[in-house]
Structure 1
Amino acid sequence: MKIEQIHHVAYRCKDAKETVEWYGKMLNMGFILAIAEDHVPSTHEPDPYMHIFLDAGNGNVLAFFELPTKPEMGRDPNTPKWVQHIAFKVKDRDELIKFKDHLEANGVEVLGVTDHSIFHSIYFFDPNGHRIELACPDPAEEEMLGKLDAVKWEMLEEWSKTKKAPKHADWLHAKELGKS
């Protein structure tokens, strides 16, 4: 048995139409389809919803539910905002900068470009409060991924015992922290 790929990832949205329009305008995602029901098919509970699906490229689908009868959306207060996010890959740094400029020109506050060594990222929030990351590979990504692959199990084992960050990959953010 093996998973082939993610079929779709679903989040909640405040307004389905606003979400479709925002993702279309800001990230050039096409609107694939909408499903609306008065009952949840899996649980059979009465609960009207609008379920929208967006094209995130390469067969990846980002979906949202608008739930008008439920209390206003919230966040897990125990999870920092930077943790839970949706990350999308873009071709290269030039494309990343074009998105940054486009987002900022349309009033979206953007954090970054952040250099993670293996990739570079920008961060921003959609109109629903979901954090979005756009990331592009670093030209030396393949070599660095090999170095990370070689220590992943040691790092995981050390973390599971100590709950302290192992130092096997300190080099990843050394430039950012002035240690290069």
Structure 2
Amino acid sequence: MKIEKIHHVAYRCKDAKETVEWYRDMLNMDFILAIAEDHVPSTHEPDPYMHVFLDAGDGNVLAFFELPTKPEMGRDPNTPIWVQHIAFKVKDRDALVEFKEHLEEKGVEVLGVTDHSIFHSIYFFDPNGHRIELACPDPEEDAMLEKLNAVKWEMLEEWSRTKKAPRHADWMHKKELSGV
């Protein structure tokens, strides 16, 4: 028994049409499907919704629900805003920089490019307040992933015991922190 892949990931949105148009215009995602009903199929509760699906590339599907009868969307106040995010892969650093410039030209505030050693990222928010990350692989990604793979269990065990960041992979952000 094994999971094959993610079928889709669903989030809530404030406005389905605005969300579809934003992902189309900002991230070039195609709108692939809409479902709207007055009752939730799984629970049978009466609750009108619009469920939209977007092509996030390579068989990945990003979906949103607009729920007009529910209270306004909120966030977990105990979770920092940088924690929950959706990360999408782009081909390379040139594509990442092109997206950054495109988003900024459209008025989206973009953080980064951040060098995570194994990959490079930019961060921004969609109109619903969801944090989005675009990431591209570093040319040395394979070698660095090998290094990380070798210490992953030791790191997890140490974290589990101490709840302090293990230093096995502190090399990852040394460039970023030193400004090199």
Relative to the length of structure 1, the TM-score reads 0.99
AA in 2 matched with 1:87: A
Q: Quote the Cα distance in structure 1 between the aligned partners of 2:173 and 2:179.
A: 8
**RMSD across aligned positions (CA):** 0.8
Identity value in percent: 86
AA in 1 matched with 2:113: V
Cα drift, residue 179 of structure 1 = 8.4
Between Structure 1 and Structure 2, how many residues are aligned? Answer: 180
Deviations along 1:17-46, one digit per CA (max 9) or x if unpaired, are: 000000000000000000000000000000
Q: Which residue in 1 is equivalent to 2:112? A: 112
Gaps of at least 5 residues in structure 2 are none
AA in 2 matched with 1:156: L
Q: Which residue in 1 is equivalent to 2:58? A: 58
Q: Quote the Cα distance in structure 1 between the aligned partners of 2:19 and 2:52.
A: 9
Q: Quote the Cα distance in structure 1 between the aligned partners of 2:32 and 2:8.
A: 12
Relative to the length of structure 2, the TM-score reads 0.99
Residues 143-162 of structure 1 correspond to what in structure 2 (within 5 A)? 143-162=143-162
**3-state DSSP of counterpart to 1:177:** helix
AA in 1 matched with 2:131: R
**3-state DSSP of counterpart to 2:150:** helix
Ranges of 4+ aligned residues in structure 1 off by more than 3 Å:
none
Deviations along 1:122-167, one digit per CA (max 9) or x if unpaired, are: 0000000000000000000000000000000000000000000000
Gaps of at least 5 residues in structure 1 are none
Tell me, yes or no, if structure 1 residue 99 matches structure 2 residue 93.
no
